[in-house]
Structure 1
């Protein structure tokens, strides 16, 4: 006895033939639910409204014959339903034609019990195999869906470091469909205990994406080449400048830092056009700016693009950074705090 109860439909305009075949199916498979129809039109209605897996249908019937029913059934999208033609020898050519239309098998009248059970067992085997294959496909799709975010982050990490292949660019472009103005945001964080940073990585990424959502679409991910940085690729909506979004993000990050007892720095790279798919320079600028946080400890968010009432952050060359570092080390060693404050433009009154 099959462990999976199936729905069976018997179609025949001759009442005796129909009820006799339906009774045979019920005797062989008591667990099955069996419906009956007297023509193809009624059979189509039942097939589209009931859980039917196997259909036994006559060919010559009024209103809608078996071949017309089969064509209508397949046209409606019911390709999984197994259709067995029940025919007489004179209609054998019709049965062959029906197989080409999508019939799965045929039986010759009068139907013998042994032949019927053979067909049923074969259909059961096919149905079980299809269900197992479908289950495997769903599992595979679930696995793909679960791994897709990590795969896309990997592609973004390659993209921002200018290592993306042409076909990978096309994949990202078709998947996201981003256009217009974009920017790269680099983020870094520090905590009293370095191991705590990893605990807030996911929270930091989610916070950035959520805050920016009203103004932009974004993907936030750890940079593979610089594990200490989290990067956001941002696509501004309607070519907005993003000033309001950046302000909201700065406030949100400061709040998060206070709540989690971590220090967060961020830096925006130069704007770019998604249509040109050029992004690495924006990341380079952002990472370079965020590396300057040592020289501007009072500034948490650095931006190359500033408003009229703000002073731009001047980028330093490697030589300038080393010179400043040596000066600061010397001033600290010699306790020359006044010179250090003057060099950093910091007043004790502040």
Structure 2
């Protein structure tokens, strides 16, 4: 068979080069020069017509879906697309429903091999089936920021309505760390960032408290203050101070102030 012209698109240098190196192991893939920006990717896809692209979703400028829309607007056919994402659980389920393939960062070798083998063995069939689905998907989500479009994808499918991610992806200095949600003890705000206290480590997450709260199961995680969320299973006791204020004491000795507006809900969860 003819080798598939393959393009890797990612604004992160290490992620881009790491994926390219591993893709070189597949003899049926003809690797093209990598694209480090979404704008460059649009030009390359239109002019050089790759057969297959590994496309990061969240990038500066255009996100992955907007890249595909820009190609469509030029009247060009879309190649086979494998999305690369740091999002877990609900977002991935939404992709699966639409039969689009994906790779979760950091990319697992076995998962990558399965993905490439399927694309190679079913090249034409995959390409034909993906066209309409990609067009529909891009039409649904273009114009939203990456976080919002993933939430919309999940909200549009009943299977994701009551599910929450097992991991939180935290991007820092070109690296992505997957933090197990069950390991999170509490979260507090630090200006425009969230401090995720998990295990014995503290991770800095560049999201708002409201956005993070939507990813956490409310039966397990509760707001105790406008700038703090606690894992209820980590609570040892609720203390009433002489001035009428309350605070929580966690199993590790950490104390968190409880706002009056959250006091009743916290009591109910602790007693349940």
Output the TM-score relative to the length of structure 2. 0.41
Name the structure where strand makes up a greater proportion of residues. 2
Report the TM-score, using the length of structure 1 for normalisation. 0.33
